[in-house]
Amino acid sequence: MGPVLTATISTSAIAHNLKVVRSLCPRQKVLAMIKADGYGHGLINVAKALSEADAFGVARIHEATALDGHTQNLIVLMEGVQSKEELDLACAKGYAMVVHSLDQAMMLKEHPQTLPFWLKLNVGMNRLGMDQAQAILAWELLKDKRHAMIGWMGHLAQADELDLSATNEQTQRFVEWTQAFEGQRTLANSAGVLHWSETHFDWVRPGIMLYGASPIEGTTGVDHGLRPAMELNSTLIAVQHVKKGEAIGYGATFTAANDLRIGVVAAGYGDGYPRHAQTGTPVLVEGEPSRLVARVSMDMLTVDITHIPQATVGSSVTLWGTDLPIEQVAHHAGTISYELYCQLTNRVHHQWID
């Protein structure tokens, strides 16, 4: 028998999801976002599954060096470089960087070498990026290196909220600020790819959708023709008969309203399963719909199997995957699929298929 708790990840699902991006953005290049260990799926294997992408985006330089020898694709440092040493390394390795502030522009200007770069505009997120005046200054500062400039980048703050005008306003600002300049343009994340075709420009930057999840509240990846790349499966390690009126788990937060058969699953917050998942969070046992009850503990969680008589010690449990959208689990835990993927711990065994 294999490990009790396994994340099974499908190469072909990730490759399929990239094809969905291509079909929505047939004229655009794809900067595939693989930061944070490929959204928790495993950096190197994700990069291999996405070898058809035009470039990769990572947040920190060590995520780029971790790909040494594993990819030929251009790697973009989405937060730029944080020191002269990092810039030396980025130039030596042939990475591209995002220049998101005048400090970064100065650092690059003063460096004897150069590397491909994007100038980043703050179109409304107020996180990274320059305003229009700063961007013009950076453009002037980097005059001697402009041959290496790829173009202009912006980032959307609310593209997942379909009923707001914010995305239109941020897109308009991006167009106004960049239209007088040469260079390629990129604005769209997954939500932009899926819902805002006017944000596609020359490059798109999908992340979450490559892993088969939806960035849009109330929808799942499958609704958009995506295939969830990860299936998180565990096993029942014990069964309890809990009498009406008895409580279960730490804090006795759940009391049985009638006699229950309870399955104990080998998965807990020590594996990255969210501790804040509420009673009622969906779980599959032997493929049958069940629900989490009581508090999630470090190594275990408990599920109601009263209506699943065939469920017994050794039964398979699906915590999320193709038949149980991670978006639903995230919703019950007051979070988003992104966080669930990223917080899986290294106690979870990873297995790659097809």
Ligand X SMILES: *Cc1c(COP(=O)(O)O)cnc(C)c1O
Q: Does 155 engage in binding with ligand X (CB under 6 A)?
A: yes
What residues act catalytically?
Answer: 35, 250
- # binding residues, ligand X (CB under 6 A): 11
Q: Which two tokens stand for residue 199?
A: 């944000």
Q: Does 99 engage in binding with ligand X (CB under 6 A)?
A: no
Handedness of CA 265, 270, 274, 278 (dihedral sign): positive
State the amino acid at position 39 in one-letter form.
Answer: Y
Give the interface segment with ligand X, choosing from 109-117, 174-182, 202-210, 325-333 (CB under 6 A).
202-210
- The full length of the chain comes to 354
Q: Does 207 engage in binding with ligand X (CB under 6 A)?
A: yes
Q: CA angle, 212 as apex, 2 and 237 as ends, to 5°? A: 30
* Direct distance between the N- and C-terminal alpha carbons of the chain, in angstroms, rounded to an integer: 21
Q: Does 235 engage in binding with ligand X (CB under 6 A)?
A: no
Give the residue closest to ligand X by C-beta.
207
Q: CA angle, 214 as apex, 211 and 217 as ends, to 5°? A: 155
Closest CA to 155 of 79, 46, 216: 79
Q: Does 325 engage in binding with ligand X (CB under 6 A)?
A: no
Range 8-37, binding ligand X (CB under 6 A) = 33, 35
Q: Does 206 engage in binding with ligand X (CB under 6 A)?
A: yes
> Is 156 or 265 the residue whose CB approaches ligand X more closely?
156
Closest CA to 160 of 89, 215, 111, 114: 215
- Pattern 72-91, binding to ligand X, x per CB under 6 A? ------x-------------
What is the nearest approach in angstroms of ligand X to the Cβ of residue 224?
A: 12
> Is 186 or 234 the residue whose CB approaches ligand X more closely?
186
In this chain, which of 28, 73, 122, 190 binds ligand X, going by CB under 6 A? Answer: 190
Closest CA to 222 of 17, 71, 57: 17
Give the 3-state secondary structure of 101-113.
CHHHHHHHHHCCC
What is the nearest approach in angstroms of ligand X to the Cβ of residue 338?
A: 6
Q: Which residues bind ligand X (CB under 6 A)?
A: 33, 35, 78, 155, 189-190, 205-208, 215
